[in-house]
Amino acid sequence: MDKVKFTAMKDGDASDYAMLDVHERDYAAGTADRLLGALVALDESLSGYQVTRLGHSLQAATRAWRAGADTDWVVAALLHDIGDIYAPYNHDEYAAAILKPFVREQVTWVVEKHGDFQRLYYAHHTGGNRHARDRFKGHAYYDDCDTFCANWDQSSFDPAYPTMQVEDFAPLVREVFARKAYDPAVIRAGERVALTDAGVAAARAAGMGEA
């Protein structure tokens, strides 16, 4: 493999950085597959629930898919807990940082804040503040995060729920991470998109749509 000439970055020249740019782009192209591998590793993550963290992630994404959610929402539901292995105390921020260059600002915000919103369902049993979400009241995406957690996150721990598999969602993950990073047409700052679409949901239920 080609290597740069320098041993300190300040000594590099244009040819060094041009070569590195090629390698970095090639490596970045594999991001989706690395994330899919990390998703599978969640099967060996935090235990104690009736489903594994992988099962929870797949179930959340399945619920989003069946509700008619668009690609950004489905991939966010799938990857929202991807940080559980490496960032157990700020897994929400970890997942948001991964998604941020490739999805709507709205989706990134929801993933980043979902940990606080989830506290509504359990923190009063553990001596915590179940109303941690209140500091975000009035934010444009507050209701979106509330819905994301109520419908797809807190409800996705059911071992009897018929859940789609990793391979069903892999094309959507690859689509998202093949986008140009930080493209304003993708980020769509300030724009809200509904979490669900009844027409899309009906089409998928009828077998007219595939993940």
User: What sign results for the dihedral spanned by CA atoms 156, 187, 194, 196?
Assistant: negative
pLDDT of residue 46: 73
| Pick from 110, 116, 106: nearest CA to 77 | 110
Measured CA to CA, the distance from residue 58 to residue 73 in angstroms comes to 13
pLDDT of residue 2: 86
User: What sign results for the dihedral spanned by CA atoms 182, 188, 192, 193?
Assistant: negative
Measured CA to CA, the distance from residue 171 to residue 17 in angstroms comes to 32
Measured CA to CA, the distance from residue 142 to residue 158 in angstroms comes to 26
Measured CA to CA, the distance from residue 47 to residue 84 in angstroms comes to 11
Tokens of 147: 């819905």
| Pick from 95, 102, 122, 115: nearest CA to 183 | 102
Instruction: Domains for the chain: give ranges and CATH numbers.
Output: 10-205 (1.10.3210.10)
> Which parts of the chain register pLDDT below 70?
1, 208-211
pLDDT of residue 1: 57
163's enclosing H/E stretch is none
Contact between 70 and 47 (Cβ < 8 Å): no
